[in-house]
Amino acid sequence: MNGVNGKYHQSLDGLAENPLRRTWRGNEQGTIELSSVPKFDDPYQEREWIKEHMAAAFRYWGKCGYGEGVSGHITVRDPVLPDHYWMNPFAEHFSTMTKSMLVLVDPDGYVSPHGAQLPINSSGFYIHSAIHKARPDVKAAAHCHSIHGKTWSAFGRPIDILTQDSCLFHDNLGVYQNFGGVVLAEQEGQNIANALGPKWKACILQNHGLLTLGNTVDEAVFLFGALDRLCQVQLLAESAEANGIRKSVISQEDAEFTAKTIQWWENVYVNFQPEYKLLLQETNGAFLK
């Protein structure tokens, strides 16, 4: 519909109620369907599926060049033992991750006997345990020290909604405006969890990096990569604006309209599947071991 000054604004009227269904078209007969997140009757089968996608997520981070020594961790709630979560082992490169290397962490932050018997990152425990306790609505959390994310984090500001992709973070992004040092205490983990609030799926940690959440590990990792790229976009736009080129921010109305489709968790999951399939081909499924 037309808005102020004759500007055209789209409406959700007449569109599919399911946000995923709005994004793709099949044949007229309705026999073509898009695959989404599988449903499991057996939590042990779901566990194996989660671990496969989690190992792929780390391989993706390796491709993106996100490795920074021992920093960086992804955790996913276990469907068999819901108060436990899977985590990457300490001091192992993202690019070498396999399903069998993943560690199952118990509620007290100790390595349980049900996964790989390898040490884990202490900071990862303090951050992720607080998030999993504070946000039972999500299953996965991802954090590492990517270049563009940690550079933009030095400003302690959210990103502007400058592009269609940035609408993923419209009213969906917190900022933790403090740096209390390397996270080695329970309180700092709680502070970070509080900065996410009750519904946001992303947070910029000042002088530190980025943190994203998801209903699946695929969602959390795609959001992380998208936010890092958007931090790069922001840095480029700020540089251009400093030289007199005015940037145009997407309107509240158009950002909200777009967010109501692209932020849907299944849509974000589907966005990661091309990367998952490519990793299967490139590695001959090595991360499934």
C-alpha to C-alpha distance for 23 and 9, rounded to whole angstroms: 18
Residue 8 confidence (pLDDT): 83
Q: Is the pTM of this model over 0.75?
A: yes
Residue 61 confidence (pLDDT): 98
| Strand-strand pairing, 85-87 and 140-144 | unpaired
Which residues, listed in sequence order, are joined to residue 68 by a DSSP beta bridge? Answer: 71
Measured torsion, CA atoms of residues 107, 53, 113, 74, in degrees rounded to the nearest 10 = -40
C-alpha to C-alpha distance for 39 and 229, rounded to whole angstroms: 31
Task: Give 10-residue mean pLDDT values along the chain (289 residues).
Answer: 65 93 94 95 98 98 96 97 97 97 96 97 94 96 97 98 98 95 86 94 97 98 98 97 94 97 98 97 95
Residue 6 confidence (pLDDT): 60
- Given strand 209-214, what is the order of strands in its sheet? 103-105, 85-87, 73-77, 140-144, 209-214, 202-205, 174-176
> And the tokens for 286?
């090595």
